[in-house]
Amino acid sequence: MLPGIAVQLGLITHANLRSVDFVGRAASGTSTITIPTWVKPGDILIGFDRAQNSSGIPSEVWWDDYGFAWQTWRTGLNRRIHTYKKIAKHDDPGKVVVGLNGTAANNKLLWVFRANKPIYDTIHLSIKQSSITDGAPGNLSIAVGDSPSFVWAIYSTGASGAGNITRGFSPPKDGENSNSNGSMIIAWKFVASNPPSSFSISMNAAGNANHLVGGAFKLVL
pLDDT tens per residue across all 221 residues of the chain = 444 444 444 444 566 899 999 999 999 999 999 999 999 999 999 999 999 999 999 999 999 988 788 999 999 889 999 999 999 999 999 999 999 999 999 999 999 999 999 999 999 999 999 999 999 998 999 999 999 999 999 999 986 555 678 899 999 999 999 988 889 999 999 999 999 999 999 999 888 899 999 999 999 99
- Owning domain of residue 93: 20-220
- Residue 100 within any structural domain of the chain: yes
- Residue 197 within any structural domain of the chain: yes
Partners of 214 in the beta sheet? 128, 153
What pLDDT is recorded for position 1?
40
Strand pairing class (167-170; 149-156) = unpaired
- Residue 112 within any structural domain of the chain: yes
- Residue 111 within any structural domain of the chain: yes
What pLDDT is recorded for position 160?
57
What pLDDT is recorded for position 214?
97
- Residue 156 within any structural domain of the chain: yes
- Residue 7 within any structural domain of the chain: no
**Displacement of CA 156 from its chain's centroid (Å):** 12
Structural domains of the chain, count: 1
- Residue 216 within any structural domain of the chain: yes
CA neighbor of 192 nearest in space, from 117, 87, 89: 117
End-to-end CA distance of the chain: give it in Å, rounded. Answer: 17
Distance separating alpha carbons of residues 167 and 4, to the nearest angstrom: 44
Distance separating alpha carbons of residues 213 and 70, to the nearest angstrom: 9
| Residue 3, burial from CB neighbour count under 10 angstroms (0-12, 13-18, 19+) | exposed
- Residue 180 within any structural domain of the chain: yes
